[in-house]
């Protein structure tokens, strides 16, 4: 089973506090995971932010319910069902979702302040939280960029491809300086080894490189020959990069031998180029923020906050 969409948690969250007792976010996550029979893998699945998908979806459900006035938060991370929430439970609804919450004026106002980039239909049908939608959009953009980048790499000259490989490895921290790596690669021509670079800036070990700008998959015979070339140079480590794919038997072979050989296929190469800024340039940066509850915990005033005075003028 996968983690349900965040709207699926709305009704169970209100039911959880039906007795009027406060509950914490941690208690809610554990109770709802048990109620829905989620596996350990479901409970531990992470988003790129490091937060679990389960925690994120329960948190967003809680946020929407608070916006609609069905839950309130008397203190940090604690929820209590409101009178309005208990009135909803008295109706015995089969489901609470965004469409259901639109009956409450405070929720409509909350929605009106949000971006209208996605249509109401898309939001109502989506199982993803806004944060997950942002992440999915970002990943889709990356995938598209990687595909475009790989097509471009496949058209470059062999000499430029060698330079590209050097740039990626140096950005990753291998090869010492750019000048050292540039002198090392493309010089040996020894038994299928296209170059030798330092493993680190101190040159404590060397790494042999083979770069293949191919269309056809790289199979075990090619990798086996590369491993033999390492033996001829008494090298223990190697990196084979290709613009195509790597067969399963090639991967099984490198896992079975003593030599440490890393196989980098075309899609992986493209992703590394994006991650380390090779052949791409930054066009925009976005920062996601959330409410800092610790900041507001500094408010130690007793009693309800003062009301603003409204003038008739």
In the DSSP assignment, the letter for residue 235 is: -
> What pLDDT is recorded for position 72?
92
> What pLDDT is recorded for position 311?
45
Residue 44 host element (H or E): helix 40-44
* Dist CA 267 CA 269 (whole Å): 5
Residue-wise over 237-267: b if at least 16 C-beta within 10 A, else e?
ebbbbbbbbbbeebeebbeeeeeebebbbbb
CATH class of 6-114: mainly alpha
> What pLDDT is recorded for position 307?
46
The DSSP string of 196-222 is EEESSTT-SSEEEEEEE--SSPB-HHH
Instruction: Give me 274's structure tokens.
Output: 């994006």
In the chain, where are the structural domains located?
6-114, 150-275
For residue 34, count other CB atoms closer than 10 A to its CB: 10
Residue by residue, pLDDT tens for the chain (313 residues) are 689 999 999 999 999 999 999 999 999 999 999 999 999 999 999 887 778 999 989 988 998 999 899 999 888 788 999 999 999 999 999 999 999 999 999 888 877 765 444 444 444 446 788 788 888 788 878 888 888 899 889 888 888 888 898 889 888 888 666 666 655 555 545 556 777 887 766 667 788 889 898 889 999 999 999 998 888 777 889 999 999 999 999 999 999 998 999 999 999 999 999 999 999 988 778 787 877 777 777 665 544 444 444 444 4
Cβ 32 vs Cβ 14: under 8 Å: no
End-to-end distance of the chain based on CA atoms, in angstroms? 59
Question: Where does 150-275 sit in CATH, by number?
Answer: 3.40.1350.10
Residue 211 host element (H or E): strand 206-212
Closest CA to 131 of 52, 205, 78: 52
């Amino acid at each position: 089973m996968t983690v349900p969409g965040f709207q699926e948690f709305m009704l169970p969250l209100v039911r959880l506090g039906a007795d009027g007792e406060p509950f914490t976010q941690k208690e809610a996550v554990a109770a709802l995971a048990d109620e829905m029979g989620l596996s350990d893998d479901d409970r531990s699945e992470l988003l790129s932010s490091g937060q679990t998908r389960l925690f994120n979806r329960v948190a967003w459900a809680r946020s929407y319910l608070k916006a609609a006035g069905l839950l309130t938060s008397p203190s940090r991370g604690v929820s209590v069902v409101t009178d309005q929430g208990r009135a909803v439970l008295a109706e015995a609804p089969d489901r609470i979702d965004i469409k259901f919450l639109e009956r409450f004026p405070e929720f409509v106002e909350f929605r009106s302040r949000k971006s209208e980039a996605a249509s109401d239909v898309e939001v109502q049908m989506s199982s993803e939280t806004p944060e997950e939608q942002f992440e999915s959009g970002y990943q889709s953009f990356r995938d598209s960029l990687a595909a475009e980048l790989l097509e471009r790499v496949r058209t470059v000259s062999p000499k430029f491809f060698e330079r590209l490989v050097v740039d990626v490895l140096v950005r990753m921290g291998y090869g010492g300086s750019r000048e050292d790596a540039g002198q090392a690669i493309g010089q040996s021509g020894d038994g299928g080894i296209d170059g030798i670079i330092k493993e680190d800036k101190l040159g404590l070990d060397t790494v042999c490189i083979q770069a293949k700008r191919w269309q056809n998959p790289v199979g075990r015979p090619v990798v086996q020959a590369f491993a033999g070339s390492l033996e001829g140079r008494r090298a223990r480590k190697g990196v084979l990069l290709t613009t195509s794919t790597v067969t399963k038997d090639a991967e099984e072979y490198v896992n079975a031998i003593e030599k440490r050989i890393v196989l980098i296929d075309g899609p992986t190469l493209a992703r590394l180029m994006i991650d380390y800024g090779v052949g791409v340039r930054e066009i925009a940066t976005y920062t996601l923020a959330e409410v800092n509850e610790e900041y507001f915990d500094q408010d130690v005033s007793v009693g309800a906050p003062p009301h603003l005075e409204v003038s008739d003028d």
